[in-house]
Amino acid sequence: MTQQAPTAMKPAAIGTAEEAASAIDRLNTIMDRLETTVAEETTRVRVGRLRDALALDAQKLELSRAYTAESERVRAAKAICAASLPEALARLQARHETFRNLLQTNLTVLATAHAVSEGIVRGVSGELARKQTPSTYGANGRATAPSPRTTQPLAVSRSL
């Protein structure tokens, strides 16, 4: 017999305007913290402080989960929010657009850092392969490139 993992308790559904206002306030607070964390991560990656940026992962994950849960809660009560708090809902929607732009910048910076690091590792690997193979000339008188089968794998230590 297999055991199922315990499911997380679902937050109570929003039923009143006061609960909707409270949920929107909580969502705004979570977004404040999440925006700060994502902006800090972006800044750290831009200046090459990748280890420092990794230190924010746990906090970013926790805030992302809270953001998703509270967003779903507000989304499920959109009718109540729209009827009782139309201005707050409009501000929240505008804020989400700003947040999307921040996330897009963050993803671009992370993708750039990934591409640069991959390029460096490929360059080092190619240089090591070139140095390990003997210099020979082919039938046309030009130097031959190292065979992919003769190259040694490259090991990278993450503890440095």
- Average pLDDT per 10 consecutive residues for the chain, totaling 160 residues: 49 81 93 96 93 93 94 89 89 93 94 90 79 72 71 67
pLDDT score for 5: 43
Nearest to 24 by CA among 68, 81, 79: 81
Angle at 63 between CA 14 and CA 88, to 5 degrees: 45
Nearest to 133 by CA among 119, 120, 148: 148
pLDDT score for 127: 79
CB atoms within 10 A of CB 9: 6
